[in-house]
Each structure stands twice: as C-alpha cells, then as structure tokens.
Structure 1
Amino acid sequence: MTLYLDTETTGLKYPNDDLVEVALIDEDGQRLLDTLCRPSEHCMLRGWATAQSIHGIGPDQVADAPPSDEVRLEVERLVQGQELVIYNARFDLGFFSSPLPANDVNCAMLAAQRFFDWYKWPKLVEAAEWIGYDWDIEGIPPHRAAGDALATRAVWQYMFVRE
C-alpha cells in the first residue's frame, strides 16, 4: 500500500527544531494519523514565530498534544513495510532520528520536477495548482499536515496512477 506523509515543524532543522503536526494518509485518502504533537522542551520554551506564521500552529495549541517522540514511533509503526511518498522527502525525513522502516520512500517533489520538466524544486502548492487540485474539497488549507498529505497524494496519483 502507498502512504503519504507530511509534517509541520517549528523550523527547518532537527534537533534544533521539532515536529508540531504529522499526517499520514493511505492511497484512498483515509487518514491513518492526523495529530498535533508537542515538540521538545527547548522548542516549547523559545517558540517558533516564523513557522507559526506559515502553518498557524502555536505553542498553546500543542501544549497538551502527545510528545513528538511518541508520534514518531507511531509513524514508524504505520509505515513499516509500506511504500511512502513525501513531498520534499529530504526535509520531512530529517525530523526522524532514524530511517523510517518503509519498503520504499519516494520524493514527490523530485518526481514533479522531472514530470513537469520545467521547474526546479516546485512547491507543493504550485504542483497542486498545475494539476487543478482543489484544496477546498477536503476543507484543509495548505501548510497543514493533512491538507499537504492529501495534496501530495493528488499530485502523485496524477503523475503515476492515471489511467
């Protein structure tokens, strides 16, 4: 089965930054995991204003969420032996302390770069726009983990699953 992963973070580089939201959906668009998570204590103490301005998730929203390390373990359990697709896989995988136990990990951003053949490192919102993806159908805006995972699924299926 193909699974689609997306994360929202406090910044750009683990372990200085950490996870604040993780979503994992299956090939049918069902959410296997869609949760906020509480980042490490040093992130909670200093906050993440720049990242918050993008995804809208602040320290107050994650204070009672499960710890990011628990969410990482759940992701590892769910992706075990599956095919995994991530938009900008290098970034998201950098927030996991060890390689995820998926059978195969694919970067949808690099695939989109090859597929559309005219744009280097396209942003997910751009690739989604190119295929006519409607963010409003799912009711989850860009830059939230579930919304981005669903958009990644749509882009991937457009490129590789069309009949």
Structure 2
Amino acid sequence: MRKDAHRHVVIDVETTGLSPGYGDRVIEIGAVAVDNGEIVAEFGSLVRVPKNIPRHVSRIHGITNDMLADQPLPDEVYPALRAFVGGSVLVAHNARFDLAFLRHEFGRLGYRFDNRSVCTLALARRRLPQLPDHRLETVYRHLFGALPEGGRRHRALDDARLTARVWGELKW
C-alpha cells in the first residue's frame, strides 16, 4: 500500500444497522481521495450482502433490498477499495462507526484495515462547541450555508464529499 503524506481518503458507509457485532453489514461505500485540498478521485459502490435491510433503516438512507440485487459482492468491492485507499490516512465523520464496520468487512475477507484516521465529528465538537448538535449536515450548514444542490443525504459518496469539505475547513 502506498503512503502519501498529502493524500487522505475521506470515507463514508451506509449499513443495515448499527453494529457489525450483531450481524449488520455495509451496503454502500463512498470515498473521495483528497490531495493538497482537492478531490482527485472518487470511489463508490453499493454492496450486495446476505442480510435484509430493515424498513426503518431503509427509510434513513433510501437503499432497498431490491437495489442491492445486482450489485457486486464484498469480495469484489473490498479489494478495489483497498487499492483505492492504499496507505492513506482516512477521514470520516464519526470515524469509530465507519471504521468498525470496514474493519469487520475487511476481516471477513482476511485483510487488515488499520490505516490511521481522523474523525471530523470529534474535530467539530472541539472547534464548534456552540452548535446544537454535530451531525454532518449541521456542521456543513454552519460552515458553508445550504447543502449542495442535488446531493442525497445519508448516501455514502455524497456524505464523503460533504465530509471532505468539512474536514478541509476544520483541519486548520
């Protein structure tokens, strides 16, 4: 895996639930590579897993079981994601959640996933304590005003793009 001091990968996942320990799985991955403050590449994929998406969870991200029917399996998606990420530092909003799921998914395939990481949620809590909450959309609106047109909330690639902008603003 390559190491590049200027390249970070901002990552987000959508899942079937809240805990890989209870059998929940990643069903969508979005990642953007940021080099010297600019998005230089993107990776996004739905992931077909043998786990139904509960209706209440589907209402959050809009991903349905039918949408996953013809999507790639984990053993197709994770090697490609691994190549995309390389040795880059990972950035995520609530990194503990996203990375726990990704470590679990990579572990199922016999891969290690131990890249260093930065959490924009923790960063926002430190830098913006006055906010009523530190959800990604709240922080983004505080920093930039309205959310971008055409973006889909709680979809992995769109959330990774938002997180990249938030991180770019908060890291200094």
Q: So what's the TM-score if we normalise by structure 1?
A: 0.85
The number of aligned residues is 155
Choose 29-38 or 89-98, whichever is displaced more. 29-38
Identity %: 29
Structure 2: gaps spanning 5 or more residues: 1-6
Task: Describe how 1:1-163 pairs up with structure 2 within 5 A.
Answer: 1-15=7-21, 16-27=23-34, 28-39=38-49, 41=50, 43-44=51-52, 47-96=53-102, 97=104, 98=107, 100-102=113-115, 104-119=116-131, 122-132=134-144, 134-137=146-149, 139-160=150-171
The CA RMSD over aligned residues, in Å, is 2.0
Deviation at 1:34, TM superposition (A): 1.0
**Distance in 2 of aligned mates of 1:157 and 1:14:** 29
Distance in 1 (CA, whole Å) between partners of 2:97 and 2:132 is: 16
Task: Note the residue ranges of structure 1 that are not aligned, 5 or more in a row.
Answer: none
SS of 1:84 mapped into structure 2 = strand
What SS does the corresponding residue of 1:66 show, helix, strand or coil?
coil
Q: Deviations over 1:62-111 (max 9, x none)?
A: 11111134323322222221111011011111112245243x21111001
Q: Which amino acid aligns with 1:159?
A: L
Q: Secondary structure at the match of 1:136?
A: coil
Inter-partner Cα distance in structure 1 for 2:59 and 2:159: 16
**TM-score, structure 2 length as denominator?**
0.81
Compared CA separation, residues 31 and 49, structure 1 to 2 (3 A) = farther
Amino acid at match of 2:171: F
Cα distance in 2 for residues equivalent to 1:74 and 1:120: 38
SS at match of 2:101: coil
Q: Which amino acid aligns with 1:149?
A: A
